[in-house]
Amino acid sequence: MSNNDTNIEKRSFEAFVNAIGSEIEQAQVRLISAANAQMLFHYWKMGNYILYHQNLQGWGGKVIKKLTQAIRFNYPEKKGYSVRNLAYMCQFARSYPLTVLRSFIETDAKLLTPSVRKITDEIQSLNNVSFAQEPLAQIQSSDNKEVAIVQEPLAQIQDVAQTVAAVYRMPIEDVEKLFLASPVARINWASHVIMLNSSLPLGVEYWYMKQSVEMGWSSNVLKMQIESKLYERQINSHKVNNFTATLPAPQSDLANYLLKDPYIFDLARAKERVDERDIEEQLVKHVTRYLLEMGNGFAFVARQKHFQIGDSDFYADLILYNIKLHAYVVVELKATPFKPEYAGQLNFYINVVDDKLRGENDNKTIGLLLCKGKDEIVAQYALTGYDQPIGISDYQLSKAVPENLKSALPSIEQVEEELTMLLDNEKNKQK
């Protein structure tokens, strides 16, 4: 061993190893993503191929069962070609022909800086357009109206790639590029199955697809978000805030886009432990943790943040930081319906955070008031005159608790009472 080998500085070598390790991990992610995209493209081609020949040969639905049996006999080691999965492949191809993929890509370019208005307009546009789906002679379009498609039949049965290229009248390499450039290629198959079973309009499907990509949702999280109607809560809801009057564009648009109404805290999902006593305790102790239901780009800063102002002590319920907004977000949680004085209290905390925490590169601090219900007219009047950005939303406590635990858990009303007591007790302890 040379002297150079024995004199390697430990710190430098550790940094060297860490850099190598980071590259290995990133490469694994890229390889997995690439493999997933190729699998989806394979399923999409298979679906197109089956649909085309069903139409060309006049085959009915039984051909899928026969095809499954043939694949099992000839390729027993190959998995994923059940009757159910082959049917999903056909539905996958039917739902996302090249015309749809092109529209998704175009929509991506238009929504680089999202706002509620932009997203609403683009999604409505996707919902309203009838897309010609080439492989079928008679199909159901995305808006459930029957559309007649004329397709020149291929002279003979060819392989899958040749057939798909002929159907779409372009080289298969160009078809692949279009597919891989679309958001369809960037979520997993299990998530696609959930989408295919959801009966969502095409534009809303696109939105959930994009959210899954941006936030790294698993298929289970995607299903939960669809069931909780996240799109309606974030895009379609009538939001109460003064962002337009207090924030410059496009920050005001982005802040309004990120706001939801209502927020839903699924307390049954706190599963650090599984025994009933611990779940009951966590229902109260970790309520604020579920404010991260707020979405992508939020980072936790502090809970019950102490500020000494003059001779008095104050405690802000929750302070987050949003990376996209480059701003602190002060969250106040109230277990009662909205009262105008709540806005004044939150405005006070915003001023304090602006003074004590906000840096020279941070934008204006934003306040979010979460209440157990509100009169929207009263809430909007209450915001008039404030020069700090404030949003007011409802929150709900999910009642989706497993049947075997219901008897051990407190009621929603009890949780709300205990939450108020908890916040008060923590403030008293820190005085």
CATH of the domain at 412: 3.40.1350.10
Average pLDDT, rounded, for the chain: 79
Of 9-18, 146-155, 299-308, 349-358, highest mean pLDDT? 349-358
Beta carbons of 17 and 9 less than 8 angstroms apart: no
The answer on 284 and 401 residing in a single domain is: yes
Same-domain status, 188 and 255: no
Same structural domain for residues 160 and 267? no
pLDDT, position 145: 34
Residues 340 and 217: their CA atoms lie apart, in Å, by 37
Q: Any idea which of 117-126, 152-161, 247-256 has the lowest mean pLDDT?
A: 152-161
Asked whether residue 2 is domain-assigned, the answer is no
Q: What is the pLDDT of residue 129?
A: 67
Two structure tokens written together for 285: 């102790």
**What pLDDT score was predicted for residue 235?**
92
Is there a domain that residue 114 lies in? Answer: yes
The pLDDT score that the predictor gives to residue 79 is: 86
Per-residue confidence (pLDDT) for residue 336, from 0 to 100: 85
pLDDT for 135 equals: 44
Pairing of strands 312-322, 138-140: unpaired
Same domain, yes or no: 226 and 266: no
**Which pLDDT value is given to residue 9?**
67
The Cβ-side half-sphere exposure at 89, using a 13 Å CA radius, reads 24
Q: Is pLDDT above 80 for 132?
A: no
* Confidence class for position 299, pLDDT limits 50, 70, 90: confident
Q: Give the mean pLDDT of 343-349.
A: 95
Candidate from 199-213, 297-311, 339-353, 398-412 with smallest mean pLDDT:
398-412
At which of 203, 231, 259 does a domain end?
231
Q: Which residue has the higher pLDDT, 305 or 401?
A: 305
Q: 4 lies in a domain?
A: no
Mark residue 315 as left, alpha or beta (left: phi above 0; alpha: psi -120 to 50; beta: remaining): beta
pLDDT reported for residue 243: 95
* Domain co-membership, 411 together with 276: yes
Give residue-wise pLDDT tens across range 35-79.
889 999 999 999 998 998 888 888 887 888 988 898 888 888 888
In the predicted structure, residue 146 carries a pLDDT above the cut 60: no
Looking at the structure, do residues 113 and 195 belong to the same domain, yes or no? yes
Among 163, 196, 231, identify where a domain stops.
231
**Mean pLDDT along residues 324-344:** 91
Query: In this predicted structure, which of 132-136, 201-205, 353-357, 413-417 has the lowest mean pLDDT?
Result: 132-136
Q: Does residue 10 register a pLDDT over 60?
A: yes
pLDDT value at residue 333: 83
Among residues 170, 243, 233, the alpha carbon closest in space to that of 204 is found at 233
Overall number of domains in the chain: 2
Q: Is residue 217 part of a domain?
A: yes
Both 135 and 36 in one domain: the answer is yes
Q: What is the pLDDT of residues 238-289, one digit of tens each?
A: 899 999 999 998 899 999 999 999 988 765 544 443 333 343 344 335 444 4
Give me the residues paired with residue 265 across strands.
397
Domain annotation covers residue 1 = no
Instruction: Judge if 105 and 220 occupy the same domain.
Output: yes
Residue identified by tokens 């238009």 is 110
pLDDT category at 405 given cuts 50, 70, 90 is very low
Q: Quick one: 194 and 210 in the same domain?
A: yes
Q: How confident is the model at residue 19 (pLDDT cuts 50, 70, 90)?
A: low
Q: Are residues 298 and 392 in the same domain?
A: yes
Residues 41 and 108 in one domain: yes
Find the domain containing 77 and state its range.
Answer: 11-231
Each as own residue / partner, the long-range contacts of residues 103-107 (CB below 8 Å, 24 or more positions apart, any chain) are: 103/129, 103/131, 104/182, 104/183, 104/184, 104/206, 105/178, 105/181, 105/182, 107/206
pLDDT of the residue at 20: 59
Query: What's the burial of 206, exposed, middle or buried (CB within 10 Å: 0-12/13-18/19+)?
Result: buried
Residue 324: how many other CB atoms lie within 10 Å: 15
Confidence of residue 131 (pLDDT cuts 50, 70, 90): low
Amino acid at 344: G
Question: Residue 375 domain-assigned?
Answer: yes
Last residue of a domain, one of 190, 213, 231: 231
Q: Which pLDDT belongs to residue 420?
A: 56
The answer to whether residue 51 sits within a structural domain is yes
pLDDT band with cut points at 50, 70 and 90 for residue 408: very low
Q: CB-based burial of residue 23 (10 Å sphere; 0-12 exposed, 13-18 middle, 19+ buried)?
A: exposed
DSSP E strand stretches across 355-411: 366-371, 390-397
Q: Are residues 198 and 297 in the same domain?
A: no
Does any domain span residue 58? Answer: yes
Distances (CA, A) of 71 to 64, 77, 399: 10, 9, 45
Q: 11 pLDDT exceeds 80?
A: no
Neighbours of 398 (CB within 10 A): 15
